[in-house]
Amino acid sequence: MHRLKKLRIQRTPSLGSSPVYEAEIKDSGEVHYHGIDFVEKRGKHRWLVSYGQLALMAHALHKAGYLEMDDRYDALIDDCPSCITSVEFSNGASKTITHLYSEESTFEPLYQLERTIEKISEISKYIGE
């Protein structure tokens, strides 16, 4: 299993009140977060996560088969929220996935992985989930 070099996660706006933010997690443990709308903490914030937390995120990505997932999971409607993840590993492997949410089409394994990343990285505290 390769170390995590960089991870970006972003939730995009919709017609509803879903959280909107973007964050980047670096291999140094530094997290850069920008809360935009419908989040607990708006604006730019920075904090550190431990190397153990980075390893847990890398493990979760490998266990979920992130690199083997499709690049895009679409919804039947266009105005639903989405989550975009982009990951780079220390071996040079990288991938970006765009995941649009709707009741009919949310890809549950990816949805759970996104929530796991938010929890381990402590982003969930900033978005209020």
> DSSP letter at 27?
T
User: Is the confidence at residue 105, as pLDDT, over 70?
Assistant: no
If one compares 87 and 76, the residue with the highest pLDDT of the two is 87
Six-digit token string for 8:
């970006």
With 0.75 as the threshold, say if the pTM is over it: yes
Cβ pair 20, 34 in contact under 8 A: no
How many domains is the chain partitioned into structurally? 1
Residue with tokens 């009919």: 104
Confidence at residue 104, expressed as pLDDT on a 0 to 100 scale: 65
Lowest mean pLDDT among 29-38, 69-78, 86-95, 107-116: 69-78
Listed in order, strand segments (DSSP E) in 38-126 are: 43-48, 72-73, 82-89, 94-100
**CATH number of residue 46's parent domain:** 3.30.1560.10
Average pLDDT, the chain: 95
If one compares 74 and 32, the residue with the highest pLDDT of the two is 32
Q: Which residues constitute the domain of residue 41?
A: 4-127
